[in-house]
Amino acid sequence: MTITLRLVFHTVNLIFLVSLANICLLFALLVKPFSEDKSWELVCWAGNWFWTYMQNHWENTLNAKGAVEVSGDEIPERESAFIITNHLGYSDYYLFHYLSSRAKMMGNSRYFVKKEILRIPFFGLTFWSMGMILVSRNWTNDQRLIEQAFKRVKENHHPCWIVLCPEGTRRTDSKILRSQAFARQKGKDELQHVLFPRTKGFVSTVQALRTSHIKYIYDLTLLYQSPDNGNNKWKVPSLADQLNCKDLTKKGYRYKIHVKRIAISELPQDEESLRSWCEDRWKQKDDLLDKWMNDSKLSNGNGIKAKMGINGVNGFDHHIGH
């Protein structure tokens, strides 16, 4: 089968699966008034089922799993957490799901998404039905909206990963320049590889989750390496680039994830100190990315060092579809 036909087949499957997922999610909404727990379980099952197809296609059909390298702290199975990460492109979701699938939390992942996403056919309804955290531009200015965003998860102690990209947008060269100009104006460090974080959403989320069952932050640092050995070596591959590639590992793509697991109780209490903490973490990310990019090329994913799971289980050896 040619690459074009495979891409068409994948797209048709995706639309079909989104339609089926929407039916399951609609049923979950009908169940919700009678059983919140059953409704949540059904929503998570539908999400896991849909995302497993997408992840299996990326890891196995396109052979990306051999190109992923993970380092840092162990992630226990089924642990609820608040995830913060640099944001490079739409492909970041494959890296999130690489971790969440092995922690058995893929269907339980909830992302901060702009309310405008509801306008996207099929996918907008899916995100709304799954209980994604829909936020408006100035949501952090209204305490009522902050509480509303986390109400369902907190009140029912639902196991989940809440994922926030504090940069607020994908990194591009022009955005890096604007970010550096902002940092100079504010007397802050100028970051070379990540955007200066917008800390309001981070601070509001930490403060809202302090009294919840979510006790840890996972701070992720992401990096891509493309096959080009020239100036585009660190280019973030588009979805089209990857979906049109028969074998991502053989082609020379590499994906690196670093995990830092931090207890929320260890974070500062006041808002100003939390802002500084987040900014310091982004400076550390920038330094780490600089080190990676100045070292030799990223290793093949078979050199994974990190662990996942409970009691020392090496979860990274258990690939989706195997």
Q: Which amino acid is at 206?
A: V
- Which CATH class name applies to 3-309? alpha beta
* CA atoms 56, 58, 63, 69: torsion sign: negative
36-56 vs 3-31: helix crossing angle, rounded to 10: 180
- What is this structure's pTM? 0.86
Q: Per-residue pLDDT for the chain (322 aa), expressed as one digit of tens each?
A: 566 676 777 777 777 877 787 788 888 888 888 998 998 899 899 889 888 999 999 999 999 999 999 999 999 999 999 999 999 988 999 999 999 999 999 999 998 877 777 777 766 777 777 778 877 766 666 567 677 778 888 888 999 999 999 998 888 888 999 999 999 999 999 999 999 999 988 998 999 999 999 999 999 999 999 887 666 788 888 888 898 888 999 999 999 999 999 999 999 999 999 999 999 999 999 999 999 988 865 555 544 444 444 333 234 433 333 3
Q: Are 75 and 259 in contact (CB under 8 A)?
A: yes
Domain segments of the chain as ranges: 3-309
